[in-house]
Amino acid sequence: MTLPSTMTICGVSWKIVLMPAKDMWEKTGMSLFGHCLEASSELRLATEMEPDKEAQVLIHEVMHAVCENNGIKMSEKDTRVASNVWFCVLRDNPEFVEYIMKAGKES
Ligand SMILES: [Zn+2]
């Protein structure tokens, strides 16, 4: 499965940027595997992650972007819980995902 290069989050286009973890750590001063930059609308992901971890971190950064787009402050712990819940719900319920995607669009 190919990682998308952009996402629309709450009506705003965000770029998904892959970079080595050491570059992200140098830029942020923190040992992160993902980073949400509101000013440039970028979701940065470390290149070293396995695909399932990459997807989990992407959902986490999407949660940060949702908060940024809506002026909401969530703690890192709350963001981690909410993003992990969505990661699990989406991964464990493909019929739910299909229903959400198609509801009201079928003729
Ligand atoms: Zn975070």
Whole-number Å distance between alpha carbons of 17 and 6: 9
Centre of ligand 1 from the C-alpha of residue 32, in Å? 8
Determine which helix (DSSP H) or strand (DSSP E) holds 77, and give its type and residue range.
helix 76-92
Mean pLDDT computed over every residue of the chain: 95
Any idea which architecture 6-102 has in CATH? Orthogonal Bundle (1.10)
Centre of ligand 1 from the C-alpha of residue 106, in Å? 36
Structure tokens at 71: 């002026």
Report pLDDT for 106.
79
**Cβ–Cβ < 8 Å for 55, 27:** no
Mind listing the pLDDT tens digit for each residue in 38-59? 999 999 999 999 999 999 999 9
Structure tokens at 24: 């992200």
Centre of ligand 1 from the C-alpha of residue 2, in Å? 23
Centre of ligand 1 from the C-alpha of residue 34, in Å? 7
Structure tokens at 101: 């995607």
Centre of ligand 1 from the C-alpha of residue 104, in Å? 33
pTM for the whole thing?
0.92
Determine which helix (DSSP H) or strand (DSSP E) holds 68, and give its type and residue range.
helix 51-70
Mind listing the pLDDT tens digit for each residue in 82-107? 999 999 999 999 999 999 999 999 76
Centre of ligand 1 from the C-alpha of residue 52, in Å? 17
